[in-house]
A = this chain, B = another copy of it.
Amino acid sequence: MDMSTKNNALILKFSLILDLTEEEKSILLSLQNECDSIPPQTDIVVEGEDLSTTYIVQSGWTYTYKLLPDGKQQILNFNLCGDIIGPYAMVLKQADHSVRTLTETKLFKVDPEKLLDLLSESPRLAVAIFWSAARDGAILGEQVTRIGRRPAYERMAHLLLELLRRLESVGLVVDDKFDFPLTQELLADTLGLTSVHVNRTIRALKKDGLINYKSDLMKIINQDGLRKVADFDANYLEQTDLPDEIASHLDP
């Protein structure tokens, strides 16, 4: 059963910054309603439509994207295990972006009203929610920098390292190898490139002995080399210490 403390993705995620008490864990569990498995290529949230629910990714990949009228699309971010989809449902009437499943995905629903109440009832969990939002913001900022100021080769390298670290933090990487359900076209929509050029870039990374990529599996062969190419600094992903004043403010 997924609705247990041990393998609940949200509890796992929040454990990165807080030692959760049993009570807090049970609050977090009671916040979430289980939800059926959702097939790939299904829209969960549609830009412009009403946004009445927040979701937690329990398993699978989803992605946040925007459509342009000429049919192009831009992927903003991926939502992985433990990520919160639409944390802002409590303050925004309509979605400003769409969210679609990439793989078969298991989501837990969270009622925005409950989420709001949680802010006042548990300062510690409020901090955890804010921290998650801050991390997502940092990831989005890095995405801007990647697309705006890096050439294709480094851009790709940087994204792969980000995904590696994010998946690692939720235990989904073994031996620098992880499931990689992205088509080259979706990669292109993520990186602001065309699928043709993504193909050439990936092949270059393979030829240079940095990665090994085969259909649904990505293996990072030379992480140091990749990091040097991408000029990757993981600080934005690995801020798991609260500021001292806040930590002591929460404890007693």
**Chain A residues within CB distance 8 Å of chain B:** 17, 48, 50-52, 64, 66, 68-69, 72-74, 76, 88-94, 96-97, 112-113, 116-117, 119-121, 123, 126-127, 130-131, 133-134, 136-138, 140-145, 147-150, 189, 191-192, 231, 235-236, 239, 241-243, 245-246, 249
**Contact flag A76-B126 (CB < 8 Å), given A69-B231, A134-B88, A149-B192:** no
A246 and B147 within 8 A (CB): no
Check B120–A74 contact: CB distance below 8 A: no
* CB-contact partner of A140 in B89, B141, B191, B243, under 8 A: B141
**Residue in B48, B90, B241, B249 whose beta carbon sits within 8 Å of that of A93 in the complex:** B241
Contacts of A137 in B (CB 8 A): 88, 133, 136-137, 140
**A119 CB contact (under 8 Å) in B50, B94, B120, B249:** B120
User: Do A144 and B113 form a contact, CB below 8 Å, given A130-B90, A243-B52?
Assistant: no
Task: Tell me the nearest residue of chain B to A122, going by C-beta.
Answer: B120
A116 to chain B: which residues have CB within 8 Å?
Answer: 123, 126-127, 246, 249
- A143-B144, A147-B192 provided; 13 other pairs, C-beta below 8 A? A50-B243, A51-B243, A68-B231, A91-B242, A93-B241, A96-B138, A96-B235, A96-B236, A96-B239, A113-B249, A119-B123, A144-B144, A148-B192
Bound complex: CA A74 to CA B141 (Å): 9
Q: Kindly provide the distance from the CB of A135 to the nearest chain B CB, expressed in whole angstroms.
A: 8
- Separation of A48 and B144 alpha carbons in the complex (Å): 18
Contact B120–A243 (Cβ < 8 Å): no
A148 to B117, CA, bound (A): 37
A119 touches B126 (CB 8 A): yes
Which B residues are in CB contact (< 8 Å) with A189? Answer: 149
